[in-house]
Structure 1
Amino acid sequence: MSEMKIWDLHMHFNGPLDENSAKGMMQLAESIAEEPGVVWKIWTHEAGTAHFGSTYLFRDLAALETYKAMHLERLAAFGITEITDHVFDIMEDLSTVTHAPLSAAQ
Protein backbone atom coordinates (compact mmCIF):
# COMPACT_ATOMS: atom_id res chain seq x y z
CA MET A 1 0.00 0.00 0.00
CA SER A 2 1.15 3.51 -0.84
CA GLU A 3 2.13 6.17 1.72
CA MET A 4 -0.05 8.65 -0.19
CA LYS A 5 -3.25 9.75 1.52
CA ILE A 6 -6.52 11.31 0.44
CA TRP A 7 -8.13 13.99 2.60
CA ASP A 8 -11.81 14.52 1.83
CA LEU A 9 -13.36 17.63 3.38
CA HIS A 10 -16.93 18.98 3.32
CA MET A 11 -18.23 22.25 4.75
CA HIS A 12 -20.97 24.86 4.70
CA PHE A 13 -20.03 28.37 3.61
CA ASN A 14 -22.77 30.97 3.81
CA GLY A 15 -20.65 33.92 2.76
CA PRO A 16 -21.08 35.74 -0.51
CA LEU A 17 -19.65 34.34 -3.72
CA ASP A 18 -18.64 37.54 -5.44
CA GLU A 19 -15.61 39.05 -7.14
CA ASN A 20 -13.82 39.66 -3.84
CA SER A 21 -14.34 36.10 -2.62
CA ALA A 22 -13.25 34.76 -6.02
CA LYS A 23 -9.98 36.73 -5.73
CA GLY A 24 -9.50 35.45 -2.19
CA MET A 25 -10.09 31.86 -3.26
CA MET A 26 -7.59 32.24 -6.12
CA GLN A 27 -4.98 33.53 -3.67
CA LEU A 28 -5.78 30.62 -1.38
CA ALA A 29 -5.43 28.16 -4.28
CA GLU A 30 -2.04 29.61 -5.18
CA SER A 31 -0.94 29.26 -1.55
CA ILE A 32 -2.18 25.67 -1.29
CA ALA A 33 -0.31 24.77 -4.48
CA GLU A 34 2.93 25.67 -2.69
CA GLU A 35 2.25 23.68 0.50
CA PRO A 36 4.75 20.87 1.18
CA GLY A 37 3.27 17.45 0.56
CA VAL A 38 0.16 18.60 -1.33
CA VAL A 39 0.14 16.87 -4.72
CA TRP A 40 -3.23 18.20 -5.87
CA LYS A 41 -6.56 19.51 -4.65
CA ILE A 42 -9.97 19.33 -6.30
CA TRP A 43 -12.41 22.07 -5.27
CA THR A 44 -16.13 21.21 -5.25
CA HIS A 45 -19.42 23.06 -4.80
CA GLU A 46 -23.00 21.84 -4.99
CA ALA A 47 -24.72 24.51 -7.11
CA GLY A 48 -27.55 26.34 -5.40
CA THR A 49 -26.41 25.33 -1.91
CA ALA A 50 -23.89 26.37 0.73
CA HIS A 51 -22.16 22.97 0.41
CA PHE A 52 -18.50 23.09 -0.54
CA GLY A 53 -15.80 20.47 -0.47
CA SER A 54 -12.26 19.54 -1.33
CA THR A 55 -10.41 16.36 -2.09
CA TYR A 56 -6.65 16.44 -1.66
CA LEU A 57 -3.86 14.02 -2.49
CA PHE A 58 -0.94 14.17 -0.06
CA ARG A 59 2.44 12.49 -0.39
CA ASP A 60 2.15 11.03 3.13
CA LEU A 61 0.25 11.20 6.41
CA ALA A 62 2.75 13.52 8.10
CA ALA A 63 2.26 16.19 5.40
CA LEU A 64 -1.50 15.74 5.58
CA GLU A 65 -1.63 16.11 9.37
CA THR A 66 0.57 19.23 9.33
CA TYR A 67 -1.50 20.86 6.61
CA LYS A 68 -4.83 19.76 8.14
CA ALA A 69 -4.10 21.42 11.51
CA MET A 70 -3.17 24.70 9.81
CA HIS A 71 -6.07 24.63 7.33
CA LEU A 72 -8.75 23.88 9.92
CA GLU A 73 -7.55 26.90 11.91
CA ARG A 74 -7.67 29.01 8.75
CA LEU A 75 -11.22 27.86 7.96
CA ALA A 76 -12.31 28.67 11.52
CA ALA A 77 -10.84 32.18 11.08
CA PHE A 78 -13.05 32.52 7.98
CA GLY A 79 -16.03 31.56 10.15
CA ILE A 80 -16.36 28.07 8.70
CA THR A 81 -16.93 25.65 11.55
CA GLU A 82 -19.43 23.12 10.19
CA ILE A 83 -16.85 20.72 8.72
CA THR A 84 -16.67 16.98 8.20
CA ASP A 85 -13.58 15.23 6.94
CA HIS A 86 -12.05 11.82 6.39
CA VAL A 87 -8.51 10.57 5.73
CA PHE A 88 -8.29 7.63 3.35
CA ASP A 89 -5.61 5.18 2.29
CA ILE A 90 -5.39 4.73 -1.46
CA MET A 91 -6.05 1.39 -3.10
CA GLU A 92 -3.39 2.13 -5.66
CA ASP A 93 -3.65 -1.00 -7.82
CA LEU A 94 -7.37 -0.47 -8.47
CA SER A 95 -7.03 3.31 -8.74
CA THR A 96 -4.35 2.95 -11.41
CA VAL A 97 -6.65 0.77 -13.51
CA THR A 98 -9.34 3.47 -13.35
CA HIS A 99 -6.90 6.24 -14.39
CA ALA A 100 -6.48 8.01 -11.03
CA PRO A 101 -3.93 10.84 -11.33
CA LEU A 102 -1.47 9.35 -8.86
CA SER A 103 1.71 9.55 -10.93
CA ALA A 104 2.24 13.21 -9.96
CA ALA A 105 2.99 12.05 -6.43
CA GLN A 106 5.66 9.55 -7.47
Structure 2
Amino acid sequence: MSTQKIWDIHLTYDGPVTEEFLQGAKQLAESIAQEPGVVWKIWTHEAGTNHFGSTYLFKDLEHLEAYKAMHIPRLNAIGIEVVSDHVFDVMEELSQINRAPVGTSS
Protein backbone atom coordinates (compact mmCIF):
# COMPACT_ATOMS: atom_id res chain seq x y z
CA MET A 1 0.00 0.00 0.00
CA SER A 2 1.11 3.52 -0.70
CA THR A 3 0.98 6.48 1.69
CA GLN A 4 -1.33 8.23 -0.78
CA LYS A 5 -5.00 8.44 0.22
CA ILE A 6 -8.23 8.71 -1.72
CA TRP A 7 -11.00 10.94 -0.34
CA ASP A 8 -14.39 10.18 -1.89
CA ILE A 9 -17.09 12.69 -0.95
CA HIS A 10 -20.78 12.86 -1.94
CA LEU A 11 -22.76 16.10 -1.70
CA THR A 12 -26.18 17.58 -2.31
CA TYR A 13 -26.76 21.08 -3.59
CA ASP A 14 -30.34 22.30 -3.92
CA GLY A 15 -29.58 25.63 -5.59
CA PRO A 16 -29.63 26.28 -9.31
CA VAL A 17 -26.62 25.37 -11.43
CA THR A 18 -26.25 28.75 -13.11
CA GLU A 19 -23.38 30.37 -14.96
CA GLU A 20 -22.57 32.18 -11.71
CA PHE A 21 -22.46 28.84 -9.85
CA LEU A 22 -20.14 27.37 -12.49
CA GLN A 23 -17.85 30.41 -12.35
CA GLY A 24 -17.64 30.03 -8.56
CA ALA A 25 -16.86 26.33 -9.01
CA LYS A 26 -14.08 27.23 -11.44
CA GLN A 27 -12.56 29.61 -8.91
CA LEU A 28 -12.84 26.90 -6.25
CA ALA A 29 -11.12 24.40 -8.58
CA GLU A 30 -8.26 26.84 -9.12
CA SER A 31 -7.94 27.27 -5.35
CA ILE A 32 -7.99 23.51 -4.73
CA ALA A 33 -5.22 23.05 -7.31
CA GLN A 34 -2.96 25.12 -5.04
CA GLU A 35 -3.71 23.21 -1.82
CA PRO A 36 -0.76 21.38 -0.27
CA GLY A 37 -0.94 17.63 -0.67
CA VAL A 38 -3.70 17.53 -3.32
CA VAL A 39 -2.38 15.44 -6.22
CA TRP A 40 -5.61 15.54 -8.27
CA LYS A 41 -9.38 15.85 -7.99
CA ILE A 42 -12.19 14.54 -10.17
CA TRP A 43 -15.50 16.46 -10.04
CA THR A 44 -18.73 14.48 -10.60
CA HIS A 45 -22.45 15.20 -11.01
CA GLU A 46 -25.37 12.83 -11.55
CA ALA A 47 -27.36 14.44 -14.38
CA GLY A 48 -30.92 15.42 -13.51
CA THR A 49 -30.30 15.32 -9.74
CA ASN A 50 -28.84 17.47 -6.97
CA HIS A 51 -26.11 14.86 -6.36
CA PHE A 52 -22.51 15.95 -6.76
CA GLY A 53 -19.28 14.34 -5.73
CA SER A 54 -15.54 14.47 -5.80
CA THR A 55 -12.74 11.98 -5.68
CA TYR A 56 -9.37 13.32 -4.57
CA LEU A 57 -5.91 11.80 -4.42
CA PHE A 58 -3.83 13.18 -1.56
CA LYS A 59 -0.11 12.80 -0.94
CA ASP A 60 -0.81 11.39 2.53
CA LEU A 61 -3.35 11.23 5.36
CA GLU A 62 -1.95 14.29 7.13
CA HIS A 63 -2.64 16.53 4.12
CA LEU A 64 -6.06 14.95 3.58
CA GLU A 65 -7.17 15.53 7.17
CA ALA A 66 -5.96 19.15 7.16
CA TYR A 67 -7.79 19.85 3.90
CA LYS A 68 -10.97 18.07 5.02
CA ALA A 69 -11.09 20.09 8.28
CA MET A 70 -11.02 23.29 6.21
CA HIS A 71 -13.13 22.22 3.22
CA ILE A 72 -16.26 20.72 4.81
CA PRO A 73 -17.10 23.95 6.73
CA ARG A 74 -16.43 25.91 3.52
CA LEU A 75 -18.93 23.74 1.64
CA ASN A 76 -21.52 24.05 4.42
CA ALA A 77 -21.14 27.85 4.39
CA ILE A 78 -22.26 27.99 0.74
CA GLY A 79 -25.24 25.68 1.25
CA ILE A 80 -23.72 22.37 0.24
CA GLU A 81 -24.51 19.41 2.46
CA VAL A 82 -22.02 16.58 2.79
CA VAL A 83 -23.96 13.32 2.52
CA SER A 84 -21.05 10.95 2.97
CA ASP A 85 -17.30 10.80 2.75
CA HIS A 86 -14.78 8.00 2.93
CA VAL A 87 -10.99 7.81 3.14
CA PHE A 88 -9.38 4.91 1.30
CA ASP A 89 -5.89 3.49 1.06
CA VAL A 90 -4.55 3.21 -2.47
CA MET A 91 -3.83 -0.31 -3.68
CA GLU A 92 -1.10 1.05 -5.91
CA GLU A 93 0.17 -2.08 -7.67
CA LEU A 94 -3.32 -3.18 -8.76
CA SER A 95 -4.33 0.37 -9.66
CA GLN A 96 -1.30 0.83 -11.90
CA ILE A 97 -2.25 -2.30 -13.87
CA ASN A 98 -5.45 -0.43 -14.75
CA ARG A 99 -3.55 2.78 -15.67
CA ALA A 100 -4.57 4.76 -12.57
CA PRO A 101 -2.54 7.95 -12.12
CA VAL A 102 -1.08 6.96 -8.75
CA GLY A 103 2.40 6.33 -7.45
CA THR A 104 5.20 7.64 -5.33
CA SER A 105 6.28 10.12 -8.01
CA SER A 106 2.89 11.93 -7.95
Task: Report if the CA contact (8 A) 2:7-2:64 is conserved.
Answer: yes
What's the secondary structure of 1:66's corresponding residue?
Answer: helix
Matched, 1:19 2:23: no
Distance 1:58 1:82, change over 3 A: closer
Aligned to 2:78: 78
Aligned to 2:41: 41
Give the Cα separation in 2 of the matches to 1:82 and 1:90.
23
Q: CA deviation at 1:79?
A: 1.6
SS at match of 1:10: strand
User: How far apart are the structure 2 equivalents of 1:35 and 1:48?
Assistant: 31
Contact 2:2–2:103 under 8 Å retained in 1:
no
Residues 1:31 and 2:25 aligned together: no
The total of aligned residue pairs comes to: 106
Question: What percent of counterpart residues are identical?
Answer: 62
* Gapped regions of structure 1 (runs ≥ 5): none
Q: Is the 8 A contact 1:5 1:60 kept in 2?
A: yes
Measure, in 1, the Cα distance between the counterparts of 2:15 and 2:104.
33
The answer to whether the Cα contact below 8 Å between 2:72 and 2:82 also exists between their aligned partners in 1 is no
Unaligned runs of 5+ in 2: none
What's the TM-score once normalised by structure 1's chain length? 0.95
Structure 1 residues 38-83: Cα deviation after superposition (integer angstroms, max 9, x where no partner): 0000000000000000000000000000000100010110122242
